[in-house]
Amino acid sequence: MFEVDQSRSGGWAYSRSQAETPDEQARNPSEFQLEDDGPLYAAQKKVYPQSVSGTFRRIKWGLMAFCLGVYYLLPFVRWNRGLGAPDQAVLVDLPNSRFYFFFIELWPQEVYYFTGLLIVAAITLFLMNSLGGRIWCGYLCPQTVWTDLFYAVERLIEGDRRERMRKDAVRGTMKLERFAEILLKHSIWLMIAWWTGGAWVLYFNDAPTLMKQLVTFQAPPLAYIWIAILTATTYLLAGFMREQVCVYMCPWPRIQAALTDEWALNVTYKYDRGEKRTSLKKAKELRALGEPVGDCIDCYQCVAVCPTGIDIRNGAQLDCIQCGLCIDACDAVMKKIGRETRLIGYDNDVNIQRRQAGKPPVYRVVRPRTVIYSAMIACVGAVMLYALLTRTLLDINVLHDRNPVAVKLSDGSIRNAYTVRLLNKRGFDRVIAIDIDGPANATVHVVGADSITPDRPMIVLGRDQTTELRLLVTAPAANNPAKSIPVNFHVTDIGLGTVASATDNFVTP
Ligand code: SF4
Ligand code: SF4
């Protein structure tokens, strides 16, 4: 039957006893009720994950090297954007309100691209979850990556699981050698944490310049404050809180529990194959007698390597980040005892039931939810790409004067004034011609700017900047409109031929 395991999290985690099958659950739902009389607080039990090697460990090393490499080195990648423009490939330029990502340059009014990016990221997480469970948690989440790195340092200095447990169990006066070990471990942790905070601020300024300023203590105080904050959080989260962040603080385990379905592949103990578990010696005896016995020899290697300290044989648990390390550990055991590997593997309950019924396993990657998620990612991605490729790099906004809305001049003509904001997102100066399309024979004049072509004002728009102008539109007395009519403003890049337009009204008093 199912039991509620509150021993670690104080929350709801279902566990499965050895004899129970999903069919039994369906027959006896009353047996699977939650009990809520456990303690709401559980003290942290220190976890001592053992080192392990195998396919999933190699994947995790590879992804860790990739993620950390990208994070630490990306600020130093250069990208030529022309004279005077920043040449850092990825840069958040707060003073000038710009975000640079290789060939993309985003302005504050284009913040909707980030919204699109967040939508794509969220749906990608849903898709990953419906295909392979908590791939994000087990392999890519910064908490997992940095905790894994901190564990590697700890193991290197203090030894593997048993050695660390033995050293921690020693009470009384600390020997100098042990003190030196602890000091070295924390120094390296702090150095990694400091590099993590240091790399973060490099995304907000020219990296080589800021590096020099940081070393010579000439960087802005805010840079030091951010480095201190991120150093402290990295040190605490990866060095001390570790699996507690995943179990208690992060909402994703709860969300993904609601998103998963019976076809999603999760790290699963194949209880159909593993039970009845017993020691290797006993298993041999029972097999010799022709009695049924499972492949699990109850060696606890899968528990020993688990970074959250749980037993995957108890079934799906919120604490399991699905890192796959128990698969590697169990595979090594199975190889040693000459049994088939993947007693623990990426699987689901549907296949366990099928195998029990003597049917071959089925893997359904293409199903409605994966198709819908993929279609949503493709649609949002396509819209963003289209918007990015067709976005205008010349823009105009027009605002009619409120008071007075119109002026009648002594010769009978009518004049309206407008505030016009022009935006040049290109990295070079541009000559812009201003035309209007409104009252017949109306003229347009830029206040404070002499133009060589009086009938068609032209101005120079500085590179990568916004310029505000005051425009006067005058309709001659003979062509005064009887009522307010729309007036279109067109700005044309003389060199490139690009046109941007905006509409307002020409008001007759
Ligand atoms: S149970 Fe296995 S997959 Fe889950 S966190 Fe532990 S080692 Fe990783
Ligand atoms: S490592 Fe494999 S054999 Fe050992 S206890 Fe875990 S599931 Fe059983």
Q: Is 323 in the pocket of ligand 1 (CB under 6 A)?
A: yes
Q: Is 144 in the pocket of ligand 2 (CB under 6 A)?
A: no
Q: How far is the CA of 276 from the centre of ligand 2 (A)?
A: 12
Nearest by Cα to 72 from 95, 93, 90: 90
Q: Is 487 in the pocket of ligand 2 (CB under 6 A)?
A: no
User: Crossing angle for the helix pair 176-202 and 207-215, nearest 10 degrees?
Assistant: 140
Q: How far is the CA of 90 from the centre of ligand 1 (A)?
A: 35
Q: Is 416 in the pocket of ligand 2 (CB under 6 A)?
A: no
d(C-alpha 309, C-alpha 377), whole Å: 35
Closest protein CA for atom 5 of ligand 1:
320
Q: Is 333 in the pocket of ligand 1 (CB under 6 A)?
A: no
Gyration radius of the chain's alpha carbons:
33
Q: How far is the CA of 438 from the centre of ligand 1 (A)?
A: 70
Where b means 16+ CB within 10 Å and e means fewer, 125-136 reads bbbbbbbbbbbb
Closest protein CA for atom 4 of ligand 2:
299
User: Sign of the CA dihedral 430, 436, 437, 441?
Assistant: negative
Angle at 435 between CA 429 and CA 439, to 5 degrees: 160
Angle at 364 between CA 360 and CA 368, to 5 degrees: 150
Residue that the structure tokens 């006993």 belong to: 282
The per-residue pLDDT for 33 is: 52
Closest protein CA for atom 8 of ligand 2:
296
Angle at 172 between CA 170 and CA 177, to 5 degrees: 65
**Burial group, residue 391, by CB count within 10 angstroms (0-12, 13-18, 19+):** middle
Nearest by Cα to 493 from 456, 460, 449, 444: 460
Q: Is 318 in the pocket of ligand 1 (CB under 6 A)?
A: no
The per-residue pLDDT for 6 is: 41
Nearest by Cα to 369 from 131, 134, 137: 131
The per-residue pLDDT for 479 is: 78
Closest protein CA for atom 2 of ligand 1:
326
Nearest by Cα to 240 from 2, 89, 44: 44
Q: How far is the CA of 258 from the centre of ligand 1 (A)?
A: 19
Looking at all shown ligands, the one closest to residue 337's CA atom is 2
The per-residue pLDDT for 108 is: 87
d(C-alpha 68, C-alpha 73), whole Å: 8
Q: Which residues contact 368 (CB under 8 A, 6 or more apart)?
A: none
Q: Is 246 in the pocket of ligand 1 (CB under 6 A)?
A: no
Q: Is 324 in the pocket of ligand 1 (CB under 6 A)?
A: yes
Nearest by Cα to 323 from 135, 86, 48: 135
Q: How far is the CA of 1 from the centre of ligand 1 (A)?
A: 22
Atom of ligand 2 nearest to the CA of 298: 5
The per-residue pLDDT for 34 is: 53
What is the model's pTM? 0.82
d(C-alpha 209, C-alpha 116), whole Å: 32
Q: How far is the CA of 243 from the centre of ligand 2 (A)?
A: 22
d(C-alpha 300, C-alpha 313), whole Å: 10
d(C-alpha 98, C-alpha 466), whole Å: 13
Backbone angles phi, psi at 418, to 5 degrees: -135, 150
d(C-alpha 135, C-alpha 118), whole Å: 18
Which amino acid makes up residue 294?
Answer: G
Q: Is 325 in the pocket of ligand 1 (CB under 6 A)?
A: yes
pLDDT tens track of the chain, all 509 residues?
Answer: 333 344 444 333 434 444 444 455 445 544 545 556 667 777 888 999 999 999 999 999 999 999 999 999 999 999 998 877 899 999 999 998 899 999 999 988 888 999 999 999 999 999 999 999 999 999 999 999 999 999 999 999 999 999 999 999 998 888 999 999 999 999 999 999 999 999 999 999 999 999 999 999 999 999 999 999 999 999 999 999 999 999 999 999 989 888 889 999 999 999 999 999 999 999 999 999 999 999 999 999 999 999 999 999 999 899 999 999 999 999 999 999 999 999 999 999 899 999 999 999 999 999 999 999 999 999 999 999 999 998 888 999 999 999 899 999 999 999 999 999 999 988 888 999 999 999 999 999 999 876 667 678 999 998 888 899 999 999 998 878 888 899 999 999 999 898 999 999 999 88
Q: How far is the CA of 162 from the centre of ligand 1 (A)?
A: 19
d(C-alpha 304, C-alpha 51), whole Å: 9
The per-residue pLDDT for 12 is: 36
Residues facing 499 on adjacent strands = 492
The per-residue pLDDT for 36 is: 61
Q: Is 247 in the pocket of ligand 1 (CB under 6 A)?
A: no
Atom of ligand 2 nearest to the CA of 326: 1
Looking at all shown ligands, the one closest to residue 60's CA atom is 1
Which amino acid makes up residue 384?
Answer: M
Closest protein CA for atom 3 of ligand 2:
296
Q: How far is the CA of 26 from the centre of ligand 2 (A)?
A: 27
Atom of ligand 1 nearest to the CA of 138: 8
Q: How far is the CA of 313 from the centre of ligand 1 (A)?
A: 10
The per-residue pLDDT for 9 is: 40
Backbone angles phi, psi at 484, to 5 degrees: -65, 135
Q: Are 329 and 302 in contact (CB under 8 A)?
A: yes
User: Sign of the CA dihedral 333, 339, 342, 344?
Assistant: negative
Instruction: Return the H-helix or E-strand segment holding 413.
Output: none
Looking at all shown ligands, the one closest to residue 302's CA atom is 2
The per-residue pLDDT for 452 is: 64
Instruction: Return the H-helix or E-strand segment holding 307.
Output: none
Residue that the structure tokens 């006066």 belong to: 173
Q: Which two tokens stand for residue 59?
A: 């994947």
The per-residue pLDDT for 28 is: 52
Where b means 16+ CB within 10 Å and e means fewer, 456-491 reads ebebebeebeeeebebebbbbeeebbeeeeebebeb
